[in-house]
């Protein structure tokens, strides 16, 4: 299925969040339907639980790339590596378009505060959905996102040891299917090994959301005052001394899949992964 650029705004208006919109768009471009998985990405919007970090378009695109990777590669290890690689291409494409990865730097609205939420709602109402900056960005970047994901998934896998993803490890401990494990793999190292907001945290949020969506078909997951997600965030912040960036938590940025895999293999973030999986 080929989605025209003019339809992107319509999809965005219907889905309501940038993360679900791009998970939907890239999945449909591949000719597949993943309704629950797409709805479960809602809480990744606003830069991950409205914290202003990586744009929800990136999280949604990474999930869709992971779903396609699972279909393309029979070997789960290879599929994990290719999901991370595709996410790196997606991240690079997005930063070329926006000069950033972060929601806050795009919207200039702090959505963790009532005044910030009021500001972005006011902008949308006054300017109208058609002229909203996020809507315009979605229209412009959508074809580039497709190209980046396809290019990333077509690369030769680059790894010398068994590929591991912190996000996939969380999902696995939470009872994820092989497909779900591969879908979140690109969250590794702060999304495509970028060192940004924690991928393990994002995987836990998505898995919790997915479980809710499976027992509440057709419903939108509670976006505000979600007690389960607030609990996860509080547990996470307590364990990391209020840190959220992967590069700060791990004390480094990972340059390669092998480097990240070695870190996880040797027990890196093990306590945090267990905490999030149990939360």
pLDDT in tens, 152-202: 999 987 789 999 999 999 999 999 999 999 999 999 999 999 999 999 999
How far apart (Å, rounded) are the C-alpha atoms in residues 122 and 128? 9
Residues 6+ apart with CB under 8 A from 14: none
Q: How do residues 12-61 score in pLDDT, each as one tens digit?
A: 989 999 999 999 999 999 999 899 999 999 999 999 998 999 999 999 99
| Domains of the chain, residue spans | 5-278
pLDDT-derived band at 126, boundaries 50, 70, 90: very low
Q: Hunting for tokens 């905490």 — which residue is that? A: 275
Which residues have CB under 8 Å from 85's CB, separation 6+? 152, 153, 155, 157, 158, 257
> Under a CB-based contact definition with an 8 Å cutoff, are residues 23 and 42 in contact?
no
Helix count and strand count (H, E) for the chain: 15, 0
What's the whole-model pTM score?
Answer: 0.92
Q: Are 194 and 260 in contact (CB under 8 A)?
A: no
Reported as a pLDDT band with limits 50, 70 and 90, residue 108 is: confident
Half-sphere exposure of 231 (CA within 13 A, CB side): 10
* pLDDT at site 220: 87
């Amino acid at each position: 299925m080929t989605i025209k650029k003019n339809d992107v705004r319509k999809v965005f208006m219907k889905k309501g969040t940038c993360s679900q919109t791009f998970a939907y768009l890239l999945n449909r471009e591949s000719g597949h339907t993943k309704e629950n998985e797409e709805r479960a990405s809602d809480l990744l919007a606003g830069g991950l639980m409205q914290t202003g970090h990586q744009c929800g378009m990136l999280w949604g695109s990474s999930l869709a790339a992971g779903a396609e990777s699972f279909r393309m590669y029979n070997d789960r290890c290879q599929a994990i590596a290719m999901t991370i690689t595709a996410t790196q291409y997606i991240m690079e494409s997005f930063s070329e378009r926006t000069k950033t990865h972060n929601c806050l730097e795009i919207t200039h609205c702090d959505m963790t505060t009532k005044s910030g939420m009021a500001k972005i709602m006011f902008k949308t109402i006054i300017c109208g959905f058609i002229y909203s900056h996020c809507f315009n960005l979605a229209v412009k970047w959508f074809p580039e996102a497709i190209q980046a994901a396809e290019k990333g998934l077509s690369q030769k896998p680059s790894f010398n040891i068994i590929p591991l993803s912190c996000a996939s490890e969380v999902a696995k401990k939470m009872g994820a299917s092989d497909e779900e494990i591969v879908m979140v793999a690109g969250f590794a190292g702060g999304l495509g090994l970028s060192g940004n907001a924690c991928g393990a945290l994002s995987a836990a949020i998505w898995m919790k959301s997915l479980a809710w969506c499976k027992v509440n078909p057709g419903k939108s997951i509670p976006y505000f005052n979600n007690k389960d997600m607030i609990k996860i965030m509080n547990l996470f912040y307590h364990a990391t001394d209020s840190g959220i960036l992967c590069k700060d938590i791990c004390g480094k940025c990972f340059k390669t899949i092998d480097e990240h895999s070695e870190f996880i293999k040797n027990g890196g973030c093990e306590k945090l992964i267990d905490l999030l999986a149990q939360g």
